[in-house]
Each structure stands twice: as C-alpha cells, then as structure tokens.
Amino acid sequence: MLDKLKLSNGAFLAMDRAYIDYKVFEQFTQNGVFYVTKMKKNLRYVAGQSRYVVNKEGLVVLKDMIVEFHKDDIKHTSRKIEYWEEKTRHSSVLLTNNFELEAQEIIEIYKRRWQIEVLFKQLKQNFPLKYFFGESVNAIQTQIWVTLIANLLVTLLQKSLKRAWSFSNLVTMVRQMLMCYIDIYSFCENPEKAWLNVILKRNIPPPEPSLFD
C-alpha cells in the first residue's frame, strides 16, 4: 500500500510492528518524507555520532545516535533513538530519517500512532461501516464522511457534558432519541428529569377554543 500513498514533502509516517525496508526508507529520504518506526534487535549497523541524556540519578535515559545500514547495494543513513520509559520500566528503540526534531518529539510522534487505530475501532464499533449502502466510489466516500461527521458531533457532545458517559452508550442514547424533540444536553445530564418533563407536557391537554375562535 505504500506505493499507492501520495506523500508530500515533509510528511511523517509512524509505522508499527518494526517495519524495516532500507530501499523504501531511502526513497522516503530522497522524496523528503520522514518515517518513525520501531527498530528490530537483530539489525546490524555502523555507529556514528551519538549523544546521551542523563537523569538526576545519573542514569542514561536517552541515547541519540546516527547509524548507517548496508544491504546489497543499498546504503541508508538513519537516526537511532533509544529511550527509557519510567511507567513501563523498559527501553524502546526507534529509527527515523529526521535529524532536525528533538528526540522527545520523535518519541511523541511514535506514541501517537495508536490514535488513528483508536478512531478506527470507535467507528467500527459504533457506526455501520462494516457494510456500505452503495457500491460506487461516491456512495462509499459519502457514507464515510457522514460517519466521521457523526463521530465528531458525538465526541463534542461527550466533552461538553458534566455527567460521565461512555462513547458507545452516548451513541446508543442519541440513536434512540434521534426522532424525539428534546434537548439532548439536558437529557444526557439528567435523563430521568428531562424525560419526566416530556411526559408531563404530553399529558397537558391543548387549550380549548373559545366561542369566537
């Protein structure tokens, strides 16, 4: 699928599962496209210039090194960033062809790779994207855009509420109340009170017309 991607100069790719392909990496570098991927343990390289970051206890928590890989007639220069995570208590090693950003920025780019996966999971669990209502390109794109807009609206609703709602429960509630004329914010904050007000309004008889109406 990488061959079909139209990546502009300066684009970043955060790749999972330790994707390693020196030929592709070199093409990225020549086209001005940056990659960030996890490094495999068994890779051989020629070490170059390096720098270290030491914490208050005197322990090395980050190692930033220029490395060079050789395979057949391919030579690729990369940047190896090894860092220690306090929360997980283990070290990770990344590779990138960006030599300008700070090491911590490269680490953040890699950590955020899961956000798109979380979005895909959220869409598949809460919206009907397992099948499409039309077969044309326009129909499929329209359904995807409508789903993304609906997902954004529910996300905005979730963030604006004081009462804690899970995203899936909120989607279900909105789906059930979609054809009801009711203030969704008031209903989500206090469903019992809002629904009681709806019932009371329904029980109020309409005003009787006078003799001259």
pLDDT for the residue 10: 87
Three-state secondary-structure class, residue 53: strand
Alpha helices (H) along 48-136: 103-111, 114-126
Span of 16-25, 78-87, 105-114 with lowest mean pLDDT: 16-25
Decide if 13 contacts 35 (C-beta within 8 A). yes
Amino acid occupying residue 71:
K
pLDDT for the residue 133: 85
Using DSSP bridges, classify how beta strands 12-15 and 34-38 pair: parallel, antiparallel or unpaired: parallel
Span of 79-83, 107-111, 173-177, 208-212 with lowest mean pLDDT: 208-212
Residue with tokens 């009371």: 200
pLDDT for the residue 16: 76
Find which of 59-68, 93-102, 184-193 is predicted with most confidence, using mean pLDDT: 93-102
Q: Give the DSSP H/E element, type plus range, for residue 95.
A: strand 90-96
pLDDT digits (tens, 9 = 90+) for 66-75: 999 998 888 9
Alpha helices (H) along 32-113: 103-111
Greater confidence (184 vs 3) lies with 184
Domain ranges within the chain, ordered by starting residue = 2-112, 116-203
CA pseudo-torsion sign 12, 17, 22, 23: negative
For residue 202, pLDDT beyond 90: no
Alpha helices (H) along the chain: 22-30, 103-111, 114-126, 137-160, 167-177, 184-189, 191-203
Greater confidence (112 vs 80) lies with 80
Calculated CA dihedral for residues 180, 185, 190, 192, nearest 10 degrees: 0
pLDDT digits (tens, 9 = 90+) for 162-189: 888 889 988 988 888 777 777 788 878 8
Report how far residue 33's alpha carbon sits from residue 67's, in angstroms, rounded to the nearest whole number.
Answer: 18
| Residue from 76, 58, 57 nearest 67 by CA | 76
